[in-house]
Amino acid sequence: MIEAGVFGATGYTGVELIRLLARHEQVRLSLATSRSDADRNLAEVFPGAPEVDLIDPEQAPLEKLDVVFLCLPHGQSAKVAAAALQAGARVIDLSADFRLTDPDAYQRWYGLPHPAPELLDEAVYGLTEAAREQLVGTRLVANPGCYPTSVLLALYPMLLESVVSGQVIVDAKSGVSGAGRTPKLATNFVEIAEDLRPYSIGRAHRHLPEMEATLAGWSDWQPKLIFSPHLVPIARGLLSTLYVPLPSGWAESQIHDLFLETYADEPFIKVLPEGEVASMRQVNHSNRCAIGLTVADSTLIITSAIDNLQKGAAGQALQNMNVVFGLEETAGLL
């Protein structure tokens, strides 16, 4: 039995993860932490969550754990990661702390010096489908952001073939749970319920460098994405609509075949039939990614849908844990 700890248990990602762990037969949730709600029960502070005692993170017996999941804000996560590794646990970090390998880029985008730069080299960027081999046995996984997961999976097959060039535009739409559980005016019910709102569009969102660095590692293409996220009045779900120059000489059916082949054995990637589009409902409450391919003139439109809390966060974290520990990759997941 793998002994697991979840740090930052009371947010949307933490609770989703704890729910998934409860169904996983080879993992036991040994501890769950909350700084603000220590000594309370998770079900009290999050209606409908499993009944789990919350402890102060400072009190957590790291040495008893086989794996630590960090659902903490960036900046805080790296410190706990260092301590957990020190204590012998493996770490799956759902924050941004180990997603960028360049500490300067981290400081530029996140506004603080990296808290544990010495660990950056060993962290594996855990887009599972693209990183399976490096993941096996690794000590430290940087779990990808929700937007990057949907975008990278949508481009991966084409980059393996080095057929992406030119300008790629990503118009992304996210449910509000992606914005976290800390109350703020921008996510107050009434503000959201009557709105659909772009934010950090163009080249301003923190998920941009993470996407571009990963893409650059897959081929010679030096991507300069245009990336426009939108906040949508729905609790969960994430849809990215990508506009990619159609590789010259490629027909729609060839692109489709490439995706089908690349993802043929992937349990969580669903390449839709030609001409169909991905939508949130196809994947919500599952760890799947649905990908639709549509060609219009010389533009390839890729629609890529995930559940931001599952494949975009807690689900992929568990998938990564399965790979790291050599378990069945789908264990505990739908």
Q: For residue 122, what are its two tokens? A: 């060993």
246 sits near its own copies (criterion: CB under 8 A): no
Asked whether 207 and 148 are in contact (CB, 8 A), the reply is yes
Q: With contacts defined by CB under 8 A, name the span among 61-69, 91-99, 100-108, 273-281 that binds its own copies.
A: 273-281
The strand pairing partners of 90, in sequence order, are: 67
Nearest-angstrom CA–CA distance, 28 and 241: 38
Give the position of tokens 């799947």.
288
189 sits near its own copies (criterion: CB under 8 A): yes
Candidates 13, 138, 284, 320: give the one binding its own copies (CB under 8 A): 284
Count residues binding its own copies (CB under 8 A). Answer: 63
282 sits near its own copies (criterion: CB under 8 A): yes
Candidates 28, 64, 108, 281: give the one binding its own copies (CB under 8 A): 281
2, 141, 146, 168: the catalytic one is: 146
Q: How far are the Cα atoms of 146, 171, 197, 199 from residue 193, in angstroms, in the given order?
A: 22, 20, 11, 16
Q: What is the DSSP string of 30-60?
A: EEEE-STTTTSBHHHHSTT----BEE-GGG-
CB closer to its own copies out of 58 and 189: 189
Q: How far are the Cα atoms of 4, 27, 136 from residue 168, in angstroms, in the given order?
A: 39, 40, 32
Q: For residue 155, what are its two tokens? A: 């481009």
Nearest-angstrom CA–CA distance, 159 and 137: 26
CB of 288 to its own copies, least distance (A): 9
293 sits near its own copies (criterion: CB under 8 A): no
Q: For residue 180, what are its two tokens? A: 């976290």
CB closer to its own copies out of 114 and 288: 288
155 sits near its own copies (criterion: CB under 8 A): no
Cβ within 8 Å of residue 206, ≥6 positions away: 96, 109, 110, 145, 200
Strand-pair category, 238-245 with 169-174: antiparallel
CB of 124 to its own copies, least distance (A): 30
Whether 71 is catalytic: no
Candidates 176, 211, 291, 317: give the one binding its own copies (CB under 8 A): 176
Q: Which string of x and - marks every residue 100-129 that binds its own copies (by CB under 8 A)?
A: ------------------------------
Q: For residue 162, what are its two tokens? A: 């080095």
252 sits near its own copies (criterion: CB under 8 A): no
169 sits near its own copies (criterion: CB under 8 A): yes
Asked whether 109 and 173 are in contact (CB, 8 A), the reply is no
Q: With contacts defined by CB under 8 A, name the span among 64-72, 125-133, 137-145, 176-184 that binds its own copies.
A: 176-184
Catalytic residues: 146
In the complex, the residues that contact its own copies under the rule CB under 8 A are: 12, 23, 47-48, 167, 169, 171, 173, 176-177, 181, 183-185, 187-199, 201-204, 224, 226, 228, 230, 232-237, 239, 241, 243, 277-286, 292, 294-297, 299, 301, 303, 334
